[in-house]
Amino acid sequence: GENVEQHPSTLSVQEGDSAVIKCTYSDSASNYFPWYKQELGKRPQLIIDIRSNVGEKKDQRIAVTLNKTAKHFSLHITETQPEDSAVYFCAASEGDNFNKFYFGSGTKLNVKP
């Protein structure tokens, strides 16, 4: 099955700086890569996703890049704000049938004011 690795496990940045979280996956057939944000005690919520036919996608301060050859994808948050503090999970769907979402282990982002 798919194996998704996520780094770093914790990330501390100063408000206004950029944050980058990286994930690698093992199944070359994976073709859907969502990112979820989970605030303390709350449900994970989708913040951005990318499909394998696209190399980069942006939504305001958030961007995701995908390198299919290297099998890695990254989340970029620019101009970080204290409310960006949360745990971020990457995920990859297994195979052509999108049957499962395999999640990374999560990155705890702390944005210091």
Partner 1 sequence: DSGVTQTPKHLITATGQRVTLRCSPRSGDLSVYWYQQSLDQGLQFLIQYYNGEERAKGNILERFSAQQFPDLHSELNLSSLELGDSALYFCASSVLSGGTEAFFGQGTRLTVV
Instruction: Kindly list the residues in this chain that would bind partner 1 in the complex (CB under 8 A).
Output: 1, 6, 31-32, 34, 36, 42-46, 49, 89, 93-94, 97-106
* For partner 1, the closer CB: 12 or 18: 12
| Per-residue tokens: 101 | 């979402």
Hey, how many other C-beta atoms are within 10 angstroms of the C-beta on 106? 18
* For partner 1, the closer CB: 84 or 94: 94
Q: How far is the CB of 16 from partner 1 (least distance, A)?
A: 28
* For partner 1, the closer CB: 9 or 18: 9
C-alpha span between 12 and 40 (Å, rounded):
16
Closest CA to 50 of 80, 104, 90, 19: 90
